[in-house]
Chain A
Amino acid sequence: LAKTTQPISMDSYEGQEVNITCSHNNIATNDYITWYQQFPSQGPRFIIQGYKTKVTNEVASLFIPADRKSSTLSLPRVSLSDTAVYYCLSRRAGNNRKLIWGLGTSLAVNP
């Protein structure tokens, strides 16, 4: 059974780099891995997505190894406003290619 797992919570301090890793076994070979950010009482917000190797945008970087069984979201120099829940998303391999959301990582950035 396809499963997506990520740490329940993480703590960091302003200015630090934060890396959140998601494990996703048995994902579809041709689909992207996507990360979302969610603040309380708001809908999730798209951060970044990638297929393999490394992707970088103005907000974050995403590292995906060759076997694609995991991915790491990297947030450079976090600030207090980065305190949120972060979800990784992938699609299950096989005929029933449903989207699988992780349970989310609650990131707390301290001053």
Chain B
Amino acid sequence: DAGVTQSPTHLIKTRGQQVTLRCSPKSGHDTVSWYQQALGQGPQFIFQYYEEEERQRGNFPDRFSGHQFPNYSSELNVNALLLGDSALYLCASSRGSDRGYEQYFGPGTRLTVT
């Protein structure tokens, strides 16, 4: 049983460019959340997708957008990249019916903006 997978592992982009990160949830999970984690900081919630819709959103600008597909996989898109967008981007999956927050995290995508 594969856990949460993310691609790519590492990515280097230039300011102003756009990036797409991908996530496949753990088998049996229907909810995907995205987080941004700067070096030495805790994860910052970006948004969560359930049933192909954005269910909740953190304090991130509209440059951050996402999508969930019918097979529950998800994409995170970031437009007009800024240097400050350099971080580890984490995807977490869970079951939408769960009351708690037992999320399974992927290994993350390390994005560097130069």
Contact = CB atoms under 8 A, between A and B. Distances in A.
B4 to A, nearest CB: 8
B101 A34 contact: yes
A31 B45 CA distance: 17
Contacts of B4: 43
Contacts of B110: 41
Interface in B38-52: 41-45
Interface string B81-114: 0000000101010000001111111111010000
B43 A101 contact: yes
Contacts of A89: 101
B28 to A, nearest CB: 15
B17 interface: no
Contacts of A41: 88, 107-108, 110
Interface stretch (A12-20, A44-52, A64-72, A74-82): A44-52
A44 B105 contact: yes
B56 interface: yes
A99 B42 contact: no
A98 B102 contact: no
B42 A46 contact: no
A31 B99 contact: yes
B55 to A, nearest CB: 11
8 contacts: A32-B100, A41-B88, A41-B107, A42-B107, A49-B102, A89-B101, A99-B45, A104-B42
Interface of B: 4, 41-45, 56, 58, 88, 90, 92, 99-108, 110
Interface of A: 30-32, 34, 41-46, 49, 87, 89, 91, 98-99, 101-104
